[in-house]
A and B are shown apart, each in its own frame.
Chain A
Amino acid sequence: MSELAPSPATVVWVTCPQCAAPLPCQDPAHSRYFGCARCRTFFRANPLAPASGAQRLDGFKTALEPGPSLPLGQVALLGGYRCRLTGYQVRGEQNDRLAEWREYQLRPAEPLTGDDPADFPLQLAEYQGHWLLVRRAWQAPDVVGPRSAQDGSWEDETGRSYQLWHRYQPLIRDALGEFDWNILDDEDLRLTEYISPPYLLASEQLRSDRPSWYLAQYLEPEQVAQAFGLARPSLPVRRGVGAAQPNPTQHWPQLARLAGLVAGLLTVLQILFFLLKPTVNGAEEFVVTSPDRAGYQQMVVSKSFEMREPGALAVTLETPDLNNHWAEITASLVNEQTGRGYEFTRSLEYYEGVEDGEHWTEGSRSVDAIISAVPAGHYHFNFYPTLEKDTGAVALILRLEENTALWSNYLLIMSVLALLPLWVWLRRRSFEQDRWSNSDFNPYATEN
C-alpha cells in the first residue's frame, strides 16, 4: 500500500490517534475525516484546530489489495475541473461478500470562487477496470410519461432511456486519505442505480429522506491514464463489460433503419417487376415413343412462341403416362432470328408397385428447368427424347412460364444485405447480455 505523499498543496498535517503517524491534509477547509495509511484507522479530526484532538471512529483490519491505482495527492483535469485526488476507499455490498470496487475522492485543486459548484464532490469509481466519473446531479430526473423512477425503465426529459441496474446497501472496507463527510454513515444508505450507457444515475436514500441523485459517466481507461499522466498498463485490466460502458455498436439504430429501408425497397421493386413484367404461361402436348427397330429416336419440335421482352423462362416437362420406366429428354431452345441455342437435359423415371400389401412409388413424372436472360424474339423447342425400349408411346407436356419471378435473386440480395445488420445485432446483443449478467435485473435472464 502506498504511503501518502505530501504534495506542494499540503498546508497542514493531522496526527493519527492510533499510531501517531502524521497525515498530510490537502483540503483543510473541508476535510474532517481521515484514513491512516499506516494502521488503517479511520478517525475524525479538524486540521484547522489541532488542539481539539482526533477521535478514532473505526479501524480496518488489513489493507486490501491491490490498493489505489491512482496516487493520492495527484492533480488531474477531470469533469472540466482541475481536481486533486484526496481520498480513496474500497466499498462492497452488505448482501454480497464478493462485490468490491474502489472510489476516489476528488476536490478542487485550486480555490474556486464562491461555494463549491454543485458538481462536487466529484468521484472516480473503478470496478474490474471500468471507470466512472461521478458528480452530483443538479436535480432529480424529470421522468417523462406515466412511469416513475422506481419502475424498472423510464425516460428522462433529455430522451435518455434508463433501466434499473442495481439496488444495494454499501459497506466500507478500507479508506485512505481525507474526506469531507463521514463515509461510514453511507452504510445506512440505500442505493439504486439506473443505466443509460454511457451514463449511470444513482439515488442515495437514507431511510425515508428525499434521495440525493448522482450522475456518473463512463470513462475509458485511456482517459483516466491521460488525466493523471499515467501509463495505461498501470491501471487495472478491464474485465467483462462495465455497467455504463458504451456498446461498440451504439449506431445500431441507424443501421437498422437503413436495413429496413433496403428491405422495403427490394420488396417494392419485386412487386414492380410483377406488375411491369407479368408472367405469360403457355402449354403444348406431344406424343413420344420408344426407339424403332433400327434404334432411331424421333425428334419433336414445338410451336413457335414469342418472348416479347427479355426475361427468364421456366420450363416444366411432364410425362403423365410414364410408369415403371425411365425417359431422358434433351430440350433445345432455339432463337429463330439469331440461331442461338439454349439446352438442358432432364431424366424422368417413375416406378410403383405393391410390396407386402403396401403401395409404393419412386421417382417423378415431372421435371423443370430455368433458362435465364433470354433475349426477346421468336423461339421454338426441339426435344430429343430417349425412352426405355418397351415404354411405348407416352404423352409429353411442355409448360412454359415467360418472365417467371426470380425469387432466388430477391432472397439472395436480401440475405447478402442482411449479413452486416445481423452480425452487428448479434454483437450488440452479446455485449448487452455480458453487461446484464452482472445485474440482478437482467432482462436477458431466462425464467426457469
Chain B
Amino acid sequence: MLDFLRDYWLAVRRWPVYAGLAALGLATFVGTGLRGYRLLGDDNESTEAERGGPGSHGGAHGGHGVFYHK
C-alpha cells in the first residue's frame, strides 16, 4: 500500500502541472455535478436574473416576452 502511494507521489512530483490541472478538473467536476451545472451551456434563453422574492411570482410567465412567428 505504501509503495502504491509512493508511486503516485512520485508521479505527482514528476508531473506537478498536470497533477494541479487534474485536481482542478476533478474539483470542477464535483462542483458542477452538485449544482447540476452544464459546462457546455444549456438551452435557457432567458436573460432574466433572480427576481428577489416570493411576492413577485404572480406575473404568470417568467421571462417570456413578445413572441412572434412569421
Contact = CB atoms under 8 A, between A and B. Distances in A.
Interface of A: 251, 254-255, 257-259, 261-262, 265-266, 269-270, 273, 277, 299, 310-313, 328, 330, 332-345, 369-374, 382, 384, 386, 403, 406, 408-410, 412-413, 416-417, 420-421
Given A262-B26, A269-B29, A311-B35, 7 more contacts: A255-B18, A258-B19, A258-B22, A332-B46, A335-B57, A373-B37, A413-B28
Contacts of A259: 18, 22
A421 to B, nearest CB: 8
Interface in B18-43: 18-19, 21-22, 25-26, 28-30, 32-43
A258 B8 contact: yes
Interface of B: 7-8, 10-12, 14-15, 18-19, 21-22, 25-26, 28-30, 32-46, 48-54, 56-57, 59-64, 67, 69
Given A341-B64, A412-B40, A269 B30 contact: yes
A258 B21 CA distance: 11
Nearest to B59: A339
Contact of B57 (A257, A339, A342, A345): A339
Contacts of A273: 33
Given A273-B33, A413-B29, A370 B15 contact: no
B22 to A, nearest CB: 4
A299 B62 CA distance: 13
Nearest to B58: A339
Contacts of B33: 269-270, 273, 277, 406, 409
- SS class, residues of chain B in contact with chain A: loop
Contacts of A421: 18
A332 B62 contact: yes
Interface centre among B37, B59, B61 (most CB of A within 10 A): B61
A409 B54 contact: no
Contacts of A328: 69
A345 B45 contact: yes
Given A262-B26, A371-B44, A406-B33, A337 B57 contact: yes
